[in-house]
Every structure is written in structure tokens, then in C-alpha cells.
Amino acid sequence: MVSSINPIPTSVKKLWERWNLRSFILLSLTLQTILILGAPFRKRAPNMAIIFIIWSSYLLADWAANFAIGLISNSQGNARGTGDNNEDLLAFWAPFLLLHLGGPDTITAFALEDNTLWLRHFLGLIFQVIAAIYVFIQSFPTNKLWPSTILLFLAGTIKYAERTRGLYLASLDNFKESMLKKPDPGPNYAKLMEEYSSKKEAKLPTHIELTAERSKESRTVTYVAEPGDMENDIAMVRHAYHFYKIFRGLIVDLIFSFHERFESRAFFQEREAKDAFRLIAIELNFVYEALFTKAVVVHSMRGCIFRAISFTAVSIALGFFYKLEKHDYHKFDVGITYTLLFGALGLDSIALFMLIFSDWTVAALTKSWQKSFVATILKKYLSFKRPSWSENTSCLDWIRQILFRRWYESISTFNLIDYSLKEREKMFPNIFDYPGIAYIKIIDLLGLKDLRDKMKYRHSTPLTRALWEFIFKELQSKSMLADDPETAKRICSARGDWVLQDSDWNSTEHSTFLRYIVEVDYDQSILLWHIATEFCYNMEWSDGDGDGCKISKALSDYMLYLLVMQPTLTSSVAGIGQIRFRDTCAEAKKFFSRRELGSGRSGGDEQQQEACQRILEVNTEVEPVAVKGDRSKSVLFDACILAKKLMDLKEKKWELMSKVWVELLSYTAGHCRANDHVQLLSKGGELVTFVWLLMAHFGIGEQFQINEGHARAKLIVGK
């Protein structure tokens, strides 16, 4: 006879049966609170800890609510496991979980791909509503809480339906469908040709005449900014919303008309750099909220009505429960019920506050409201969202950045020389170095080294006004030349060669540097110019105080960060960038490992300067490919040759490098996929996305149609 052994003690089972449901309901409410308060932070900082917390809460929220509904359904009728006369409360708790499945307004999708799962959520809505109805019917004959349960069931169904509709509208297919214009069959060709044939048969002199298209010169600007609009935060939101309605088509690769291009170019060419940045920041905020939140659903008339019904239903349910005699229920369960009720009202109140003080509400204000008390409050609130452009932030500005800023307001940087110096192997390691070596090998074996490098070597630097103004002026000047789509496409395709066409650069300089731009792959060009910029920056401190030097350094480190740590953003243009980067780092580590370098007590600057000097001392009269062949893709000493040629330009080199970096940045912005730009909006945003949208506003790109409208045909019959 085999004795049965129970691995789980009976006491543990009883504890689980009594507290499992209560724990999961409170966990579900906690996750909803984390999401509604924490989700906005992910668009303000690319902090991996914050993103991980939101990601895990997003995944656990649905699981916890679904699991709790299953527990309620399973526990129905089992009073022993849930407390005395607890069936009514079980039925009352079920609709709260529908509210939680509806999710907060601040996040419907963690990634763009989640929007494509709207059909799964629709089926989930049906089945979870059926489960809640089943629980309610089971308790209905003796349920004293049925009025409150019905009200909460209504509110929960509304919230879950809002989320499902939000996912449906944000899925890229439906997002594109909502922007398509009505089909245009053009002129009635068949009817015109019938008339033409009949006139010909009657032997009447007949011909077809086409009316000429309206020329570019005859077009007039139909959308202008009024004086003072750029200082009025409400007007700024209104202008940004106008262009959002047009340029959201970029996300789904729609083509814009010449009129839309002309209107946008005229508007942005008259703006200052700081005003253009604010407009684009607001515009991208509209894009983010349209694709990752419930904003489109709740900011409609129908959405406001349903939201009012939902809030009212929860409030009335709280009143009913408060007046109910509760002696038959366990005190702790009553406390949980009050927690759920006040939690639901609290979350709805936060959502209401965010709804009122959102850019969508401001954009919907009519001119009659813009001098009201409400507009005054909104202006004050919107003033906190302005970018500070300050490198030295005070405590109040730090709080503003955390709570109110629309995006990160900084750029991420990564430096190859710094990385290679810190990752190099010592020729004679001591006993204390071996744990670190073993640690690196273990995380490399687990495939976590890239994550570790991103956490350790990615740095942030504020986006300065000087840097943005330089980028803006470069693109603005090119926009002046982009009168026709062909020129606009050539400018968009330039990655440094357009700069060398300037008359300031002679033919020798043009041919010298052109081979490092267009005669190499794009990723190779980034690596070459990044290392060359680093050599020039570290070796010529006397020239390193100007804006050109700082701009070149910032863009150089930023572009390498995009190449190495955001491969999805540059995958369509980067080629074999990862292989070339690894080979270059390997050669740099090998070079540094065989030489004793200073300790670099001042933050590593002296050590980097010495490392750059050691590389530049190497004789490079013979091309590296002639010595090493092309098996290794390293470009370390090719960049050394480029740096020496740049140093020959003396003070002109920073002007050239800064302009080349802007073109490389513009090339990345214009050639990577639109949905990759949008995806990064949920992770703090990127400067390259701002440049992408600015280029579109300046009419620089390939998404503009050549002809506008169609010609009008007239049948001319002679006498």
C-alpha cells in the first residue's frame, strides 16, 4: 500500500484559498495605479528601470485581472473559502476587474505591435463580460448589492470597450484608413469620349482641350500665424494640431499634395528655431497619444458622454454601498470593497484631470474661449511644458522636467575611444582582475553584454539651443533650395556630399573628403567621421571652444549611439554596421592593451587624449587595406588618415565636420522607417525623430506628389 504524501501543507492551502482572491484584486488595483501614474514618464526619459516597471506592470495587469475573475467564478457558491455570506461581494468585485481590464487612459499599448491585437481584446471583452454576468446571475436571487453591481458592470464594460476601440483606431491599417480621402475617379472619360465620337461622326470640327494646372508661383499661403502666436501656448498647440492632422500620414507612408508641402514650408521657414522645436514637440506628443493611449477615444463627444456615464455609475454605486447594512460581511472584505470603490473614483479623477489639461482639449478650444478663465489656467499649465534649454537645471526645473516635459530634452551619446579604453584587456592582469574578466565572459555567454554596455556606456547630454539652432538653420537653408521634388530628394539623399559642393570648398578639398562620404558605406562613413572627430577634439583643445567643435562632438557621439545602440532605427541604412563597429573596437582594444596609458585622473579626458595621440603617431603613409586586406572591417586607421587631413584645414575643419554631421543625421532621419521613429516616442523620443519631422515640414523628402489634382478637360466644338 503506497501512502500518499501531500507536498503542500493543509494550513498553506487554507491560507491560499482565503487570501488568493483578495490579494489578486488588490494587486490588480495597484498595477492600475502604477500604470496611470507611471506611463507618462516613459516618453520623458529612456530610463531602462522605468521602462521595465511599466512593461512588467502592463503585462501583469491583464493577467492579474483575468486570473481574479477566474477565481471569483471558481469560488462562486463556496462560502467556506470566501467568508460568511460573501457571495454578494464576489459578484460585486467582478465588475471592478472589468474596469481594470479597461486599463488607464495613459497607456493602451506598450509597443506599436500591441495595437494589432485589438481583435484579441475584443474577444476578451466578450468573454469577460459573459463571465461577469455569470457570476452575477449565480448570486442574483439573494444579492442585496445588485443595483451597485449593475452600475459597476456598465462602467466596466464602457472602460474595456474604450480600450478595445483605442487599440482598433491605433492599429496602423485602421489609422491609415481613417486618413484616406474619398475615392476620386477623375473626369468622366467614357462620357466625354462618347460625346467626342458623336461630334466626330457628325463631321463637326471637334477637339479636347485641357486646362493648365495652377503654377507654383500662383499659389498663395492659406495658413498663417497671427502676431504673438509664438508666445501664446494655446496658439502653439492649435498650430501643432493643425500640422499633426496633415503630417500624421507620414507614419503610414501617405503622400502629401503640393499645396500641403507649400503651406508647411512657408509656415516653418518664417519660424525661429526654438518655436519650431516647440511645435514639433507638441505635434509628436499628439502622435504618441494617438497611438499609445486612449486620447482619440476619450476626446470625442461620444467618449466624453460615456466617460461621464462611467464616472457617475461608480459614484452612485459607492453611495448605494455606503448606505447598505453591512453586518453580514467580513470587515476586511468591506474594507477591500471601499478600497476598490475609492480606487476606481481616484483613478477616474486622475484621468479626468489629465483629460482636461491635455493638448487635445487645448486644441479643441474655440476662439471665444481663449480669453476665458479656463484658458488662463491652461496657459499657466502649458508654460510648465516649455523646454528650458538650460544646461544647469535648478530644483524647480528638475521637477518640471520630471512631471511636465513632453520629451527627454537630452540626447544619448556613446564614444568608441572611451569604450575601447575601458574594455581593453590588460597585458599583465593581476589576481583582482580575474573576477571582472569572468563576469564579462558570463554575461557574454548569456547574451547580456549588449544590455550591460548600454547601461554602462550610454550617457546623456542636454540638447542645447546652439545645437538645435544649427541643425534648424542648416535644414532651413536647404529648404530654400528645395523648390521642386527632385531637388528635395537630392538634398534628402545627401550624406555630406552636399556640403562639399559649396563654393567655400575648393576642388582639392572636395575630392579629398568625398571618398570618405559617398565612396564608402553609410555605417562606415559614420564610424570614420566619429573617430576622426574624436581625434580632432582631443588633440586640438585650442580650437575646441567654439560652437562648431561642441556641435561636432555632440552629433558624433549621438550618431554612433544610434548606429550601435539603436540598430532598429538605422537598420535600413546601416549595412554591416555592427560587424564594422566590433572589428574597429577589437583593433582599438588590441592597440591600447599593448601600450601603457596614463590613469586619466580628470574623468578619463587625459587618458583619451593620450590614446588619440598614440594612434595619430602611427605612420599611415600606406593605406590600411593594402597591409591588412579586407578580412577585417576595422576603420580605425582609415579614420586616423581622415583626421590628419582634417587637421590640415586648421580652423575650417569644425565648420566642415559640423555640417557633415548634420547631413549624416538628416540622411538617417529621412531613410529609416516611420514606425521606428514612432516606436521610440514611447522611450523618451530621439533627436533624429525631431529632425525627421522638421525635414517633412520643410518639404525635404520623398513623400510629396509631383502633380496636384488632375487636368480639367473641355470638349471644344467648332462652328
Q: Under 8 Å CB-to-CB from 24, ≥6 apart: which residues?
A: 64, 67, 68, 71
pLDDT-derived band at 576, boundaries 50, 70, 90:
confident
Residue 370 CA to residue 401 CA, distance in Å, equals 26
> In Å, what is the CA distance from 540 to each residue of 536, 554, 571?
6, 16, 34
Output phi, psi for 713, to 5 deg. -95, 140
How many Å separate Cα 162 from the centre of its chain?
A: 22
Place of cell 529612456: 46
Instruction: For the beta carbon of residue 434, count every other beta carbon within 10 angstroms.
Output: 10
Convert the pLDDT of each residue in 495-519 to its tens digit: 888 888 775 666 666 677 888 888 8
The answer to whether residues 243 and 697 touch, using CB atoms and an 8 Å cutoff, is yes
Is it the case that residue 461 has pLDDT exceeding 60? yes
pLDDT-derived band at 5, boundaries 50, 70, 90:
low
pLDDT in the model for residue 73: 80
β-strand partners of 350: none
pLDDT in the model for residue 424: 82
Rounded to an integer, the average pLDDT of 556-584 is: 84
pLDDT in the model for residue 82: 43
The residue that leads in pLDDT, 331 or 706, is 331
Residue 73 CA to residue 65 CA, distance in Å, equals 12
* Continuous H helices in 424-505: 434-445, 449-457, 465-481, 485-493, 497-500
Smallest Cα–Cα separation from 520: which of 648, 399, 409, 623? 623
The residue that leads in pLDDT, 454 or 567, is 454
Is it the case that residue 520 has pLDDT exceeding 50? yes
Is it the case that residue 556 has pLDDT exceeding 90? yes
Measured at the alpha carbon of residue 357, what is the angle toward residues 125 and 407, in degrees to the nearest 5? 85
Rounded to an integer, the average pLDDT of 708-719 is: 61
pLDDT in the model for residue 218: 47
3-state SS assignment for residue 716: strand
Q: Mean pLDDT, the chain, as a whole number?
A: 84
Convert the pLDDT of each residue in 157-213 to its tens digit: 999 999 999 999 999 888 888 887 777 777 777 877 787 788 777 777 777 766 655
Is it the case that residue 544 has pLDDT exceeding 60? no
pLDDT in the model for residue 229: 83
Output phi, psi for 715, to 5 deg. -95, 115
Q: What percentage of residues in the chain have a pLDDT greater than 70?
A: 88
Which grid cell is 479? 529648404
Over its C-alpha atoms, the chain yields an Rg (Å, rounded) of 32
Output phi, psi for 714, to 5 deg. -125, 140
Residue 638 CA to residue 143 CA, distance in Å, equals 81
pLDDT-derived band at 601, boundaries 50, 70, 90:
very low
Place of cell 481663449: 370
Convert the pLDDT of each residue in 616-650 to its tens digit: 988 888 888 878 777 788 899 999 999 999 998 88
Convert the pLDDT of each residue in 328-374 to its tens digit: 788 888 899 999 999 999 999 999 999 999 999 999 887 767 677 88
Rounded to an integer, the average pLDDT of 19-27 is: 90
Is it the case that residue 217 has pLDDT exceeding 50? no
Is it the case that residue 376 has pLDDT exceeding 60? yes
Exposed, middle or buried by CB within 10 Å (0-12, 13-18, 19+), for 636?
buried
The residue that leads in pLDDT, 351 or 225, is 351
pLDDT-derived band at 84, boundaries 50, 70, 90:
very low
Is it the case that residue 558 has pLDDT exceeding 80? yes
Is it the case that residue 311 has pLDDT exceeding 70? yes
The residue that leads in pLDDT, 54 or 77, is 54
3-state SS assignment for residue 183: coil
DSSP string for residues in 55-120: HHHHHHHHHHHHHHHHHHHHHTT-HHHH-TT-HHHHHHHHHHHHHHHH--TT-S-SSGGGGGGHHH
DSSP string for residues in 156-209: HHHHHHHHHHHHHHHSHHHHHHTTPPPP---S-HHHHHHHHHHHHHTT--EEEE
The answer to whether residues 276 and 694 touch, using CB atoms and an 8 Å cutoff, is yes
Is it the case that residue 542 has pLDDT exceeding 60? no
pLDDT-derived band at 220, boundaries 50, 70, 90:
low
Exposed, middle or buried by CB within 10 Å (0-12, 13-18, 19+), for 713?
middle
Which grid cell is 278? 516647440
Output phi, psi for 462, to 5 deg. -60, 145
Convert the pLDDT of each residue in 657-700 to its tens digit: 999 999 999 999 988 888 889 998 988 889 999 999 999 999 88
Instruction: For the beta carbon of residue 670, count every other beta carbon within 10 angstroms.
Output: 23
Residue 159 CA to residue 161 CA, distance in Å, equals 5
In single-letter form, the type of residue at position 534 comes to: E
Convert the pLDDT of each residue in 105-142 to its tens digit: 999 999 999 999 999 999 999 998 898 888 888 777 77
Q: Are strands 410-413 and 459-462 parallel, antiparallel or unpaired?
A: antiparallel
pLDDT in the model for residue 198: 82
β-strand partners of 461: 411
Q: Are strands 206-210 and 459-462 parallel, antiparallel or unpaired?
A: unpaired
> In Å, what is the CA distance from 140 to each residue of 68, 88, 94, 129, 133?
20, 8, 13, 16, 10
Instruction: For the beta carbon of residue 186, count every other beta carbon within 10 angstroms.
Output: 10
For the entire predicted model, the pTM comes to 0.90
Angle, in degrees to the nearest 10, between helices 636-647 and 605-616: 90
Residue 596 CA to residue 593 CA, distance in Å, equals 8
Is it the case that residue 268 has pLDDT exceeding 90? yes
Report helix, strand and coil shares of the chain as percent, to nearest 5: 70, 5, 30
β-strand partners of 411: 461
pLDDT in the model for residue 711: 56
Smallest Cα–Cα separation from 107: which of 357, 292, 287? 292
pLDDT in the model for residue 115: 94
Q: Under 8 Å CB-to-CB from 590, ≥6 apart: which residues?
A: 424
In single-letter form, the type of residue at position 583 comes to: D
Convert the pLDDT of each residue in 390-429 to its tens digit: 666 677 777 877 888 888 889 999 999 999 998 887 766 6
The residue that leads in pLDDT, 323 or 573, is 323
Helix or strand run (H / E) with residue 546: none
